[in-house]
Every structure is written in C-alpha cells, then in structure tokens.
Amino acid sequence: MLELEYNNDEYADTMTMAMNMANRTVNGVPVEAILKPIEMNEELVQRIAHRKVKVPEIAIVEPDPQWLDHFETFRSRILAAFEPPKNEDDPQEGADNASRVTILSVNHVGSTSVPNLPAKAVIDIDLVLSSNTLSSETFYVPRLEAAGFQFLLREPEWHGHRFLVASEPMSCNLHVFGPQCAEVERHRIFRDWLQQHDDDRELYARTKRDAAAISREKGEPVMGYTVRKDEVIRRIMTRAFTELGYLSG
C-alpha cells in the first residue's frame, strides 16, 4: 500500500507550491489534506488479533489477469455482508437496521489493481463506510468476519484505519476507512496515474523488485520493503499532483 511521507523541509517546499487550494476539494476531501499525509505511528496501533494464516512472502510476481476476478469475488462478499435484513417486520432486525452502517465505496487499490504491473500476490481493497468508528464496529466487524475476513489492527490516529485480512481465494488486505478520507484519495490518484503512465509504472515495478530482493535477503518484515519504496512513490505522486493542478510546475 501507499506510504507517502515528507520531512519538515520537503513538506514546507511542497506546500509553498500549492495553488490557491484553501477551498478546493476532491470528492469532499480538501486538497491540502491530500497533499499532506498523516504520519503513521506504530506505537499507537491497537492489535486486535494475530494472523491465523501466515503473512505472504515478500515476492514480486508477474501480473495475473485473475487478480481482477479475485477482487470481484471479495467485493461481492463485502456487499452481500451489508445487505439489508430480509424481514423488516422483525423487531430485532429493525433495531439492527436503525444503526446500519452503509458502504460508500469498495475500491481495488495497490499494485494488483494496475494492469501490467508486477506485484505481491495480495489484493488490496479500500472499503469506505458511512462510519468506521469504535461504536460502529459492533455492526460492521461481525459482518466482515462472517464474509471471511479477520480483524487484525485498529489505527484510530491514522484516518481511523481498520485492517482486516482474508486468504481465500488469495491473500487480501482490507482497509476500512470512514467518509471523505484523504488516504483513500491518495490511493486512487496513485493507482490511476500508474494505469495511465507506462514510464512511472515501469519505474515502480523496478523499485518494487529491488526493494523486495533486499528485504528477503535481510529477512525483514514488510515494513522494511515499504520504506524502501517511499522516495520513488513521493516523486511519482508529485508528478501526479502537478498534472492534476494541485501543485504548480
């Protein structure tokens, strides 16, 4: 997934390039929030459970057309899990419906969403809900668990992120966010840019392969692999933001 960070000097330089963005939004998200990522703090991550299935090896494989089919399988499961109760006259189901959390979008993101891009064989999905807060978890978590996802992490300070995983028909990372989330917009922008720009797609593929090889050699967890891609991701995102008019050239 996209982890885009700036140090203080880089952020200051980036924000001085912004062009009259104070009141501009994209899908309800302020452009300024899209340009300024929230830094993740691992100390604030709340672990809910440990994986039942071993985390996939850090290996970059050739693109597989079936990845799109597998995304649709996961998407169908998620949508089915949130279907309204069949018997609206049942008092219990009526109470359940009164506190219903609704799906705003189910987005295929990450490298497997980009045709012709080598990737780790893991489907990444951004699930955007009308509410993903602690009080809403009693509604959506059991439904997602019944659909085959395991709830692993809660990150309230990082866009309220909830992280779940599944393993059939292939490995899947499910990222649950609330409405108007800047991180969701960044994921979409990065995906769309790579789909449309062969040169940056090829650059990112080389970067991923090199980062994965080093991480395997050092026996690192996935975070080391992710950090090694940060600089290239930052450069690609800067090009995307500039073309979109969020930054001046």
Which pLDDT tens digit goes with each residue over 71-88? 999 999 999 999 987 765
The answer to whether position 44 is within a domain reads yes
Residue 88: inside a domain = no
Q: Are 161 and 176 in contact (CB under 8 A)?
A: yes
DSSP string, 182-198: HHHHHHHHHHHHHHH-H
Both tokens of 128, joined, read: 């955007």
Residue span of the structural domain in which 36 resides: 8-83+99-244
In a domain, residue 2? The reply is no
CATH number of the structural domain spanning residue 168:
3.30.460.10
Residue 42 has what pLDDT?
Answer: 86
In a domain, 198, yes or no: yes
Q: According to the model, what pLDDT value does residue 18 have?
A: 46
Map tokens 């069949």 to a residue.
86
Q: List CB contacts of 138: < 8 A, sequence separation 6 or more.
A: none
Q: Which amino acid is at 21?
A: M
User: Would you state the pLDDT for residue 6?
Assistant: 47
Q: Is the pTM of this model over 0.75?
A: yes
How many domains does the chain divide into? 1
* 93 assigned to some structural domain: no
pLDDT at 96: 56
Is position 138 within any domain? yes
Q: Flag whether 91 is in a domain.
A: no
Per-residue pLDDT at 142 = 97
- Please determine, for residue 203, whether its predicted confidence score (pLDDT) is greater than 60: yes
Determine, yes or no, domain membership for 1.
Answer: no
| pLDDT (average), residues 191-214 | 97
In the predicted model, is pLDDT for residue 3 greater than 50? no
| Residue 124 pLDDT greater than 90, yes or no | yes
In this prediction, residue 20 has a pLDDT band, given cuts at 50, 70 and 90, of low
Question: How does pLDDT run across 131-169, given as a tens digit for each residue?
Answer: 999 999 999 999 999 999 999 999 999 999 999 999 999
Predicted confidence at residue 19, as pLDDT, reads: 44
The reported pLDDT for the residue numbered 101 is: 96
